[in-house]
A and B are shown apart, each in its own frame.
Chain A
């Protein structure tokens, strides 16, 4: 699919600006994202260190490395026909957010259980889009996560999974999945570092997509 036009809200001005949704990122795209995101993360870390911010307030995805993820994904050739697929949101000629999803080996846990869903392995916005009050950083753009999650739900619909979605959330992101995404929190998963597991069923997906 060719890029799909969308908009993102620039926080500083409140204005909507042009952006593009991409539903088949290449591994090179991931490397492009990491090329810009890694130095930005180092700047964030420097600011947190300079202010002696407590560890629990540090962004929990600060250590993620999309170049490393690209290396692991290489054999699977992510795309519409693979078990893995990469989505992204682009504005100002930069990746503003990236999502890695997979569509096999993750059965639903909500009743009746055992059905296929799209599992979000990782989703992250660019470091300059993080709200970091501890260092006085306001996000450049808002609304990235919701649009990326919507792409994953639409992939689930395309696969015949009726929008079903699952993921394990970092603690700092739980409110996002409970609130704006309307997912069910199934609690801490002892097999996933006690991260909370969230699931979106068919009816919740319809609500998310505005079809109810």
Chain B
């Protein structure tokens, strides 16, 4: 984790608001949110590439929704 590179990230005001809100809600820095998002995206990509599907489930309402992830 010590070998880091710096980049400039241009976000729209709405995107920046979303990032700020997530950082507050998750008690993370904005950098940590972006890193987590990258890891999650990578994880989903690997599993979808292996033929798996991504679902959201609401146990109370007995609903299960497949999230389509484009390859």
Contacts and interface: CB of A to CB of B under 8 A. Distances in A.
B39 A160 contact: no
A159 B42 contact: no
Interface in B2-58: 2, 25-29, 31-32, 35-36, 39-40, 42-43, 46, 49-50
A104 B39 contact: yes
Contact of A76 (B28, B35, B46): B46
A116 B25 CA distance: 10
B43 A105 contact: yes
Contact of B28 (A83, A105, A160): A160
- Give the interface residue-count category, chain A: 10 to 19
Majority SS of interface residues in chain B? Answer: helix
Given A75-B50, A115-B27, A83 B32 contact: no
A82 interface: yes
Interface in A79-130: 80-83, 103-105, 114-116
Interface of B: 1-2, 25-29, 31-32, 35-36, 39-40, 42-43, 46, 49-50
27 contacts: A1-B1, A1-B2, A75-B46, A76-B46, A80-B1, A81-B39, A82-B39, A82-B42, A83-B39, A83-B40, A83-B42, A83-B43, A103-B36, A104-B39, A104-B40, A104-B43, A105-B43, A115-B26, A115-B27, A116-B26, A159-B32, A159-B35, A159-B36, A160-B29, A160-B32, A161-B32, A162-B27
